[in-house]
Each structure stands twice: as structure tokens, then as C-alpha cells.
Amino acid sequence: MLDTRLSYVVAVARSGSFTAAAATVGITQSAVTRSVADLEKQLGYQLFHRSAKGALLTEKGRDFVERAERVLDETRDLLRGVGRPDDPYAVTVRIGVCPSSLEWLLVDGLADFHRKFPVTRFDVTSASFERMIQQLLSGNVELAIGFDADFVDWAEIRRMPIGVMESTFFARKGHPILQIARPSHADLAQYEIVSPSISRPYMATTRSIFERQGMDWRRHVHIIDSFPVVRRMVETSDAIAPVSRSYARNPSFRNRFGLIEPLEPYPGAVICAAVRARIGPSQAVRGLVTALRTSLIGSGRRYLSPLADDPHLAG
């Protein structure tokens, strides 16, 4: 039988309170508290930081809850008959995106796939690459979308390339740098840069901009995964930031920002779908990757450029 303490821990994590969790699972608060404490004793570490204001997950507790949620979800699917052999698409596909600024890549592909296979359920999360690789290797997510350059050194990962994202810098309308037709690295280094990630496609170029001028890049770069926050910072200051050229075609974006075309442009970044090599992708995951690839480089949308033939990218 499934250990009911898993449900109690997940309830506490979601509500942030032992009292609220007790109301959710339908037992007394003292029973929830005893059950969680008993589980912590068995595990040998704390799952929660307790205070008068509630309960916050510890780092180990966060990892435990993520795995517990997966176990509970799979159990519910099993009892509902989801994932039966005669329908390989009647499953929950757990997808991770790293960094979160790439979430827009899923928009059309997931919608298209859902119209074709409505029995499939999605569980989408986003995180830094360092956290997402842990999620992928532990099985908490089965498909990760991100930059190929981040995954290339991991032998345990199989990479399925989707397309190439072309990027450049952008600045608020009226920014002085927009008066320079082809700004150099020295011109760019006069301003702070907001990078959505420490991933290689971004950071290698960003670091070189400042290091070529003998400047410490750490004093001039903000790392912010949330693109709405990046966009707001650029709009309200002289900071500049990278943006994909496809996103920059949006009329509302063009009305508020201008594109910077430097002498040395950003290199194209390969976007890939990553799975554990030992297990490989399920039929549903393979179908979803195909749907993402079609939505991003086909059907007249062309959010990404097609890949040149490059066998090593397939892992």
C-alpha cells in the first residue's frame, strides 16, 4: 500500500501550514504533525523549517516532495487506468524548461499536440539548468527543453535537436546605443546587460563583451530568468538584454523597443529536447518533440531556424 505520509507531506508543502494541510487531507493537525515528524525521523533529515508563520521546505525537503508528487500522480494514473498498453498517449508527460525564459517555445507545440491527443496530460515546470538536470536524472521530469550547449557534457543525457534560435540585443526606444548603426563590444560595454541565464550561449558572449575591455563582467551583468522582468528593466533603464529575433517581431514589442545589431552578433543557439539516455523517450514524448519541432520551424511560423545536418547533436 502507498504510504499515506507522502500525501500529508505534499499537502503541507502546498499549503505552507500543518493546520491547512490537515483540513485538506481530512485528519487532525496533530496527526499530520506526528506523521511528518515520524517520516523525518525515518529519513534522517528535516523536510520542513517550522515557524509560527508556517512550514517552509528545506532543500532536501523540496527534492523529496517533488519525487513524492510524482509517485502520487503515477499512482492516481494507474488507478484510473491511464497509461494502459493499448493507448501509449494516455499518460502524463512531465516537462522541464531551463531557463524559464524559454517557456514560450512550448506554447504552440503543446496546444497542437493536445488537440491531436487530448488524453495526454502535461506537467510543466521551469528552473535553472543546474536544478533541471537533477530533475531529469532523478526522473522527476522525463523531457527537458533547453540549450543544447548546456546538455552536451552529460553522457547520461540523450539530446534531440529542435532548431536554432537567433538572438540579438534590444534596448528601450530612445536609448543612445540605437543611434549607432553597428555598435562594437566597446559600445555595448558602456551599459549593463540583463542576461536571462548563465547558460553558455548567453554568458560566453556577455562575458566577452566586458572582458575585452578589461572589465569585471560580474559588476555589469544581471542574471534574471523571467523575461517579463528583463523586459521591464530594459524599458525603465539604460540596460540592454538579448532577445530572440522571432519574439522581437511582435508589433507590441517593436513599439516599445529597438533592436541592436552589433558588429559581432550573437551566435545561433541550438535548442534541444533532452531525455535520459538509459531509458529513452516514450512514444508520447517522441510525438511531443515532433510537434514542438513542427510548431517552431514549420507551418509558416519559423520561430527557430532549421538545423543543418549535424549527427553529433542527436547524442
Residue 283 sits in the same domain as residue 149: yes
Given a cut of 50, is residue 311 above it in pLDDT?
A: no
pLDDT per residue over 189-241, tens digit each? 999 999 877 766 678 888 999 999 999 999 999 998 888 999 999 999 999 99
Number of domains, the chain:
3
pTM, entire model: 0.72
Residue 220 sits in the same domain as residue 296: no
Put residue 44 in one of left, alpha, beta given phi > 0 → left and psi -120 to 50 → alpha.
Answer: left
For residue 80, count CB atoms less than 10 angstroms from its CB and return exposed for 0-12, middle for 13-18, buried for 19 or more: exposed
Beta strands, E only, 33-74: 48-51, 54-57
Residue 8 sits in the same domain as residue 150: no
Residue 202 sits in the same domain as residue 218: yes
Residue 159 sits in the same domain as residue 176: no
CATH number at residue 277: 3.40.190.10
Give the per-residue pLDDT at 310.
45
Q: At what angle do helices 18-25 and 4-15 cross, to 10 degrees?
A: 130
Does any domain span residue 78? no
- Higher-scoring residue by pLDDT: 290, 14: 290
pLDDT-derived band of residue 178, with 50, 70 and 90 as boundaries?
A: very high
CATH number at residue 9: 1.10.10.10
pLDDT per residue over 114-142, tens digit each? 999 999 999 898 888 888 888 888 777 88
Average pLDDT value for the chain = 87
Residue 154 sits in the same domain as residue 179: no
Average pLDDT over residues 75-100: 75
Give the per-residue pLDDT at 84.
53
Strands 121-126 and 167-172: unpaired
- Higher-scoring residue by pLDDT: 107, 14: 107
Give the per-residue pLDDT at 313.
39
Residue 102 sits in the same domain as residue 62: no
Residue in the structure block whose three cell numbers are 513542427? 294
Residue 181's domain spans which residues? 167-260
Lowest-pLDDT range of 162-166, 193-197, 251-255, 292-296: 193-197
Q: Residues of the chain with pLDDT > 90: what percent?
A: 50
CA dist list (Å): 299 to 174, 245, 248, 257, 302: 35, 18, 19, 27, 7
Residue 255 sits in the same domain as residue 119: no
Does any domain span residue 73? no
| 3-state percent helix, strand, coil for the chain, nearest multiple of 5 | 45, 20, 30
- Higher-scoring residue by pLDDT: 66, 301: 66
Give the per-residue pLDDT at 140.
77
Give the per-residue pLDDT at 205.
85
